[in-house]
A and B are shown apart, each in its own frame.
Chain A
């Protein structure tokens, strides 16, 4: 989780990732930021993220992102 927060801070510093649960709904992360995050996550956690995973439910919070990473690592 710490590594994930580090990646998020690096890509889009202006957000409180510990508490925010509307990263997509409030437009904090735009499509460029989402794909930058995806690129880093794929390298860092050795997962493959497909277009099917790019939904607000997976990107609205750091917690949701972490759940997606764990699910993709397991499956």
Chain B
């Protein structure tokens, strides 16, 4: 059931009406039923994987807590807890790994050794990465005693399957999301209004911007030799598509959750205003970044072998570089995982390592940067310098997008070369859009994207300056609000692409 469909909107409407109509103590059960209906509608077969993750994680959590409570010898308890944790992690990441990466492994073996193993056909459960990461975060939090285990299997099942977020996140934490899912919610008109506004904003980004931009992206990146003068336009269009697709999807998801009185974590914070790659990852797919930080980066950095490496590098390179080097290595491992998470292909591994290397280099150079800034009398709040940092980061991010969108690494490198050596913007009118197949419609699509970007930029700029657009909108007269909503309802289908031209959400494939 696509997030952009009348049946989905009707599904949400029924879920919301029933949610506030039934007694409050049954609200979480109502959400669980709707979550499973939603998931099963995507395929009954793959639901078994969701149930598997739910049951294994639930049992793991309960057993972990029982060991903590028991009067067992400390070392023995520690060992037992570790065994349970590793079993749950292996089982669940094992399923994820087999389903997502078997064919990548077969392909790599075939290429490296000239073998001819056949690839396998797997049904990839919807949102498997998201619900697996969310569940494994839960089990690790119990292991580290940051949260307590949920003892009701069905409540836990709701935490794993909550329907607005299961397909593309945000990846929630039990300590924050669990409480909200299970508590009673009364109908508040402000929350409904905030939710609807957020949903509309998400549809605007997705339908008007992402779905128009994707046509140019596909045309240019599917035929890089034909549109060799449009490499820059292609990657800029991809910048728009990816951001508006994913953050637009998040707006819809967060808005729907708000209709149930549930506040999900934000996943985007105006990433193209970032002043460094580190800052970019603090603003882009935030819940994946914090998940990686808490459950991969810190544990790897604090592992026994990393401690030995730290001592070794301190002896070899001195205190400052010596202590930073192991952190850089852990950071590279994290971005390698992020790359692999994005897809089973070498281009994604390069994409991850590219980001990791830049951040590692910045970490190593941080003390030097401080000295250079002092020498050049550059103050942090200098507007010119701030603007330079934003532009520099945007260029670095766009370089990474070449690896993300091109079909393989050689194509990405070729497109980068074209971006520098060839530029023929008029080629854009050779891209025919729609059945009318005239350049006229291409021009309309370009104008729609440009004005749409302007709208997103203005809203983002105001938010970046500390202004809350939602609050401003909420204060307007109801007639103004109605006019805006009616305008959007009429504009969205008119300016967006028909379902055949546009695609689903990119991150729903993860």
Inter-chain contact A49/B302, CB cutoff 8 Å: yes
- Size bracket, chain B contacts: 20 to 34
Residues of A within 8 A of B326 (CB): 39
In the assembled complex, how far is the CB of residue A29 from the closest CB belonging to chain B, in whole angstroms?
A: 13
Which one of B111-119, B292-300, B487-495 contacts A? B292-300
Q: Check B305 for interface membership: any CB of A closer than 8 A.
A: no
A60 and B282 alpha carbons, distance in the complex (Å): 18
Q: Check B503 for interface membership: any CB of A closer than 8 A.
A: no
A49 and B307 alpha carbons, distance in the complex (Å): 11
Inter-chain contact A35/B146, CB cutoff 8 Å: no
Q: Check B469 for interface membership: any CB of A closer than 8 A.
A: no
Which one of A15-23, A50-58, A63-71 contacts B? A50-58
Q: Check A9 for interface membership: any CB of B closer than 8 A.
A: no
In the assembled complex, how far is the CB of residue A13 from the closest CB belonging to chain B, in whole angstroms?
A: 7
Inter-chain contact A55/B324, CB cutoff 8 Å: no
Residues of B within 8 A of A52 (CB): 144-146
A52 and B310 alpha carbons, distance in the complex (Å): 20
In the assembled complex, how far is the CB of residue A65 from the closest CB belonging to chain B, in whole angstroms?
A: 16
In the assembled complex, how far is the CB of residue A22 from the closest CB belonging to chain B, in whole angstroms?
A: 16
A54 and B293 alpha carbons, distance in the complex (Å): 10
Q: 1/0 per position for B304-315, CB-CB distance to A under 8 A?
A: 000100100010
Interface hits, B240-296 → A, CB 8 Å: 278, 282, 293-294
Q: Check A36 for interface membership: any CB of B closer than 8 A.
A: yes
Q: 1/0 per position for B359-371, CB-CB distance to A under 8 A?
A: 0000100100010
Q: Check B196 for interface membership: any CB of A closer than 8 A.
A: no
In the complex, which of the residues B146, B299, B302, B310 has the most CB atoms of chain A within 10 Å of its own CB atom?
A: B302
Residues of B within 8 A of A43 (CB): 314
Q: A38-B302, A39-B310, A51-B302 are in contact. Are A32 and B327 (CB under 8 A)?
A: yes
Q: Check A25 for interface membership: any CB of B closer than 8 A.
A: no
A40 and B330 alpha carbons, distance in the complex (Å): 17
In the assembled complex, how far is the CB of residue B345 from the closest CB belonging to chain A, in whole angstroms?
A: 28
- Size bracket, chain A contacts: 10 to 19
Inter-chain contact B144/A35, CB cutoff 8 Å: no
Inter-chain contact B293/A31, CB cutoff 8 Å: yes
A23 and B20 alpha carbons, distance in the complex (Å): 41
Inter-chain contact A35/B327, CB cutoff 8 Å: yes
Q: A42-B307, A49-B302 are in contact. Are A36 and B327 (CB under 8 A)?
A: yes
Inter-chain contact B366/A32, CB cutoff 8 Å: yes
Inter-chain contact B363/A54, CB cutoff 8 Å: no
Q: Check A30 for interface membership: any CB of B closer than 8 A.
A: yes
Q: Check B323 for interface membership: any CB of A closer than 8 A.
A: yes
Residues of B within 8 A of A42 (CB): 307
Partner of A31, one of B297, B310, B366: B297
- A contacts with B: majority SS: helix
In the complex, which of the residues A27, A31, A42 has the most CB atoms of chain B within 10 Å of its own CB atom?
A: A31
Inter-chain contact B307/A35, CB cutoff 8 Å: no
Instruction: Identify the closest chain B residue to A49 (Cβ).
Output: B302
Partner of B323, one of A30, A31, A40, A51: A40
Q: A32-B327, A35-B327 are in contact. Are A51 and B363 (CB under 8 A)?
A: no
Partner of B299, one of A31, A38, A51: A51
A55 and B290 alpha carbons, distance in the complex (Å): 12
Instruction: Identify the closest chain B residue to A11 (Cβ).
Output: B323
A36 and B301 alpha carbons, distance in the complex (Å): 10
A33 and B324 alpha carbons, distance in the complex (Å): 9
In the assembled complex, how far is the CB of residue B321 from the closest CB belonging to chain A, in whole angstroms?
A: 11
Inter-chain contact B370/A13, CB cutoff 8 Å: yes
Instruction: Identify the closest chain A residue to B140 (Cβ).
Output: A51
A52 and B146 alpha carbons, distance in the complex (Å): 7
A54 and B144 alpha carbons, distance in the complex (Å): 10
Residues of B within 8 A of A49 (CB): 302
Residues of B within 8 A of A27 (CB): 282
Residues of B within 8 A of A54 (CB): 294, 298, 302
Inter-chain contact A35/B278, CB cutoff 8 Å: no
A51 and B306 alpha carbons, distance in the complex (Å): 13
In the assembled complex, how far is the CB of residue B470 from the closest CB belonging to chain A, in whole angstroms?
A: 23
Residues of A within 8 A of B366 (CB): 32
Instruction: Identify the closest chain B residue to A33 (Cβ).
Output: B366
In the assembled complex, how far is the CB of residue B495 from the closest CB belonging to chain A, in whole angstroms?
A: 37
Instruction: Identify the closest chain A residue to B290 (Cβ).
Output: A31
Interface hits, B440-470 → A, CB 8 Å: none
Interface residues of B (CB under 8 A from A): 144-146, 278, 282, 293-294, 297-299, 301-302, 307, 310, 314, 323-324, 326-327, 330-331, 363, 366, 370
Closest 5 pairs (CB-CB, A-B):
A52-B144, A39-B323, A51-B298, A51-B299, A35-B327
Can you list 5 pairs linking A and B with CB atoms under 8 Å apart? A13-B370, A31-B293, A38-B301, A49-B302, A51-B144
